[in-house]
Amino acid sequence: MQHYLANEQRYTNGMQYNRCGNSGILLPKISLGWWHNFGAANDYDKCRSIVRFAFDHGITHMDLANNYGPPPGSAEEMMGRMMQDDLRPYRDELFIATKAGYEMWPGPYGNWGSRKSLMASLDQSLKRMKLDYVDLFYTHRYDPETPLEETLQALVDIVRSGKALYIGISRWPLHALKTAIKYLSERDVPPLIYQGRLNMLDKAPLEEGILEECRNNGIGFISFSPLAQGLLTDRYLQGSVPQDSRMSQARFLKPEMLTPELLAQLQELNAKALEQEQSLAEMALRWILEQQGVTSVLVGASSVEQLKKNIKAGCE
């Protein structure tokens, strides 16, 4: 693959940006999630072409985690390789996130939210990605056993160390989020953003008050799994499971989930999308972006063509 020169029109070809809460940060409406499609089993050149296409079209935000792959760590290793091959000259144009909280190494310190675990994990992530710092570091899940103050003070100290510029909260319940907002804000490290699952099939952040809490406190919100791992696309509308689909792998999305009730719901949503002259995926992404307080949606992509379709929702 040739030496990479980014598209000179990357900021003028349509991608729109939203302010993240009350911060100075603007994030693209469509951000690139590295959860499933950037592991060691994926073709490097194909992944590289997806990332190049994303950046060439104004997607500046790359969302990773220590355990993304598979195997865990391999998505960050791929990011490190891409930093060397393509992205190093554009580091200051990129907003790179990673997370810690899920099991990464054996023993009692490779998991959850202790100070030891978070700090060690971030050091490992920086080495894998060949970075001096990340723009955003998340606590990836709520730890009911570790005192919240320990987790939160570790996040404060990580920012003060210069290893992360901003802090994010992912998938914490409302009561813990309220504690985090108060603790971090009192120490001048307010959370930048909350990451939660929000889509047309799962509206928990709306129903549980998470989105409202973020809005009221000037915190951004970014949705992961906005297409419900592909359910909110045209892939399953016939009631069958395509051979190359995520459901066919039966890891997180299993064939038995495609019940007659769900299929009827998907077909009804698709009919509504067609009335609006949109694809189901495009309507689903736009629905999230229309929710007050939502900053961005994280889309995965297994091909440039797939990403090209989903970018449309961020260009209005």
In the chain, where are the structural domains located?
A: 17-233+280-314, 237-278
What pLDDT sits at residue 230? Answer: 87
Greater confidence (315 vs 114) lies with: 114
51 touches 64 (CB < 8 A) = no
pLDDT of 239: 67
The whole-angstrom separation of Cα 257 and Cα 273 is 22
Q: What pLDDT does residue 229 have? A: 87
Q: What is the pLDDT of residue 242?
A: 65
User: Cα(24)–Cα(197) distance, rounded to whole angstroms?
Assistant: 24
Q: pLDDT tens-digit profile of 115-163?
A: 999 999 999 999 999 999 999 999 999 999 999 999 999 999 999 999 9
* pLDDT at residue 9 tops 90: yes
Collapsing DSSP to helix, strand or coil, 43 comes out as coil
22-48 confidence digits (pLDDT tens): 999 999 999 999 998 999 999 999 999
**pLDDT for 316 beyond 90:** no
What pLDDT score does 39 carry?
A: 95
Integer-rounded Cα Rg, in Å, for the chain is: 19
The answer to whether the CB of 193 falls within 8 A of the CB of 20 is yes
Say if CB 167 and CB 158 are below 8 A apart: yes
Torsion over CA: 144, 150, 154, 156 (sign): positive
Residue of 7, 3, 62 whose CA lies nearest to 37: 62
Per-residue pLDDT tens for 221-277?
999 999 998 899 988 887 666 666 666 565 667 767 788 899 899 999 999 999 999
Q: Rounded distance, CA 79 to CA 137, Å?
A: 16
Q: Given 3-state DSSP classes, what are the helix, strand and coil percentages for the chain, each rounded to the nearest 5?
A: 40, 15, 45
Residue 1 has pLDDT above 70, yes or no: no
Q: What is the pLDDT of residues 286-309, one digit of tens each?
A: 999 999 999 999 999 999 999 999
- 237/5 Cα distance (integer angstroms): 39
* Inter-residue contact 63 to 299 (CB < 8 Å): no
**CA separation for the pair 131, 91 (Å, rounded):** 9
- Rounded distance, CA 142 to CA 180, Å? 11
- The rounded distance, in Å, linking the Cα atoms of 7 and 243 is 35
Q: Is the CB of residue 181 less than 8 Å from the CB of residue 155?
A: no
pLDDT for residue 176: 98
In terms of Cα–Cα distance, which of 315, 311, 295 is closest to 303? Answer: 311
Closest C-alpha among 37, 42, 61 to residue 222 = 61
Please report the pLDDT score of residue 258 as a whole number. 81
- Say whether pLDDT at 87 is over 80: yes
Phi/psi region, residue 298 (left: phi>0; alpha: psi -120 to 50; beta: rest), is: beta
CA-CA-CA-CA dihedral for 196, 183, 76, 303, to nearest 10: 20
pLDDT tens-digit profile of 197-228? 999 999 999 999 999 999 999 999 999 999 99
What is the pLDDT averaged over residues 51-59? 98
CATH of 17-233+280-314, picked from 3.90.1170.50, 3.30.830.10, 3.20.20.100, 3.40.630.30, is: 3.20.20.100
The span from the CA of 66 to the CA of 111, in Å, is 11
pLDDT for residue 315: 85
